[in-house]
């Protein structure tokens, strides 16, 4: 399926639409344009049925929320949760991981798309699949050097193209790219995740940073994914054509955990730890997980199904990771 006429009309007005714009700029339009953006429209994005495009861990509430509460309280330390507010960034409108769930925190607040990020005082700052929703750049190794990929409008169709020169964001990152790679190796670069984290961590707050997402180390990204990690999601199906149906499908790629861990430590946090979702809950939410498992041991209930979906290595347990760090 092709691109919608309204999106093409808006894209065509970009100064470099005919010669090519960086993929991140195309993605910014496709996801966040106020009238044709995927995340700005009134569509149902998150859910476990075919009427939604994808599901996240919050689709398995209240179990996920209960485990997050237990883990956050454990990481803060005994008796500390009551002095901290829980702030969730990137929640769907009307959503929130703690919605309808009892918790020990001093209060809770959600920051949705377009709202200012203002955080102060003792907090737990939480996000679930926030960073993978940021526009990313793409580069390909061809003829001995890295070339930035872009999107151009030709004969009424969107086409992938190689840009004559990298944009400033990619040019500033060029020294960190591998000196050599197999011909045609593609890297999707989630460069905008770090400025977002800097905006969050740069606020005057202390406490726990906790982010669930899917990603890899920088070494893995440059060695194990020759066609990149970018993909689309629509009606619970993953796709590989990143230019098809812009504004109507989600576009995402793996984030780089190393970059975010480094950014947290630059902002004064202690050790930043990345764990699989399975390991994170097993280690930090045992106080809630053990009675859950005991209560559901003799039956296959919706709660038990949710626990297995969240923790089993073949489901979400290894696919997703948690990054956490404390700033006292």
Q: What is the pLDDT of residues 44-85, one digit of tens each?
A: 666 666 767 677 777 787 999 999 999 999 999 999 999 999
Contact indicator for 125, 196 with CB cutoff of 8 Å = no
pTM for the full predicted model: 0.94
Q: What is the pLDDT of residue 196?
A: 97
Specify the range with the lowest mean pLDDT, choosing from 23-32, 48-57, 141-150, 191-200: 48-57
Q: Is the pLDDT of residue 272 over 90?
A: yes
Per residue in 185-228, pLDDT (tens digit) is 999 999 999 999 999 999 999 999 999 999 999 999 999 999 99
Cα 192 to Cα 24: distance, rounded to the nearest angstrom: 9
| Torsion (CA) 126, 132, 137, 142 in degrees, nearest 10 | 130
Percent of the chain predicted with pLDDT > 90 = 81
Question: How sure is the predictor about 297, in pLDDT bands with cuts at 50, 70 and 90?
Answer: confident
For residue 121, give the nearest of 207, 208, 210 by alpha carbon. 207
Longest alpha-carbon distance in the chain: 64
What burial letters (b/e) apply to 99-135, b meaning 16+ CB within 10 Å? eebebbbeebbbbebeeeeebeebbbbbbbbbbbbbb
């Amino acid at each position: 399926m092709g691109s919608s006429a309204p999106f093409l009309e808006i894209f065509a007005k970009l100064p470099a639409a005919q010669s090519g714009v960086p993929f991140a700029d195309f993605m910014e339009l496709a996801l966040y344009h106020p009238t044709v953006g995927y995340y700005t429209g009134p569509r149902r994005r998150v859910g476990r049925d075919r009427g939604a495009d994808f599901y996240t861990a919050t689709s398995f509430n209240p179990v996920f929320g209960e485990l997050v509460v237990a883990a956050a309280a454990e990481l803060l330390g005994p008796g500390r949760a009551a002095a901290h507010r829980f702030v969730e960034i990137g929640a769907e409108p009307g959503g929130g991981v703690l919605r309808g769930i009892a918790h020990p925190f001093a209060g809770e607040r959600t920051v949705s798309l377009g709202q200012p990020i203002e955080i102060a005082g003792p907090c737990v700052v939480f996000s679930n699949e926030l960073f993978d929703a940021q526009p990313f750049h793409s580069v390909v190794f061809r003829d001995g050097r890295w070339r930035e990929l872009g999107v151009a409008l030709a004969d009424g169709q969107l086409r992938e193209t190689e840009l004559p020169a990298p944009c400033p964001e990619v040019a500033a990152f060029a020294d960190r790219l591998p000196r050599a790679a197999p011909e045609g190796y593609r890297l999707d670069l989630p460069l905008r995740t770090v400025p977002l984290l800097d905006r969050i961590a740069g606020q005057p707050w202390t406490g726990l940073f906790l982010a669930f997402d899917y990603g890899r180390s920088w070494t893995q990204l440059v060695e194990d994914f020759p066609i990149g990690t970018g993909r689309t999601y629509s009606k619970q199906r993953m796709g590989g054509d990143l230019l098809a149906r812009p504004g109507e499908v989600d576009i995402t790629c793996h984030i780089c955990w190393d970059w975010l861990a480094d950014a947290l430590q630059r902002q004064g946090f202690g050790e930043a730890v990345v764990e699989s979702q399975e390991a994170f809950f097993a280690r930090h939410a045992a106080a809630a997980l053990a009675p859950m498992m005991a209560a559901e041991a003799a039956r296959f209930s919706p709660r038990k199904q949710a626990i297995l979906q969240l923790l089993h290595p073949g489901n979400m347990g290894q696919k997703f990771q948690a990054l956490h760090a404390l700033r006292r």
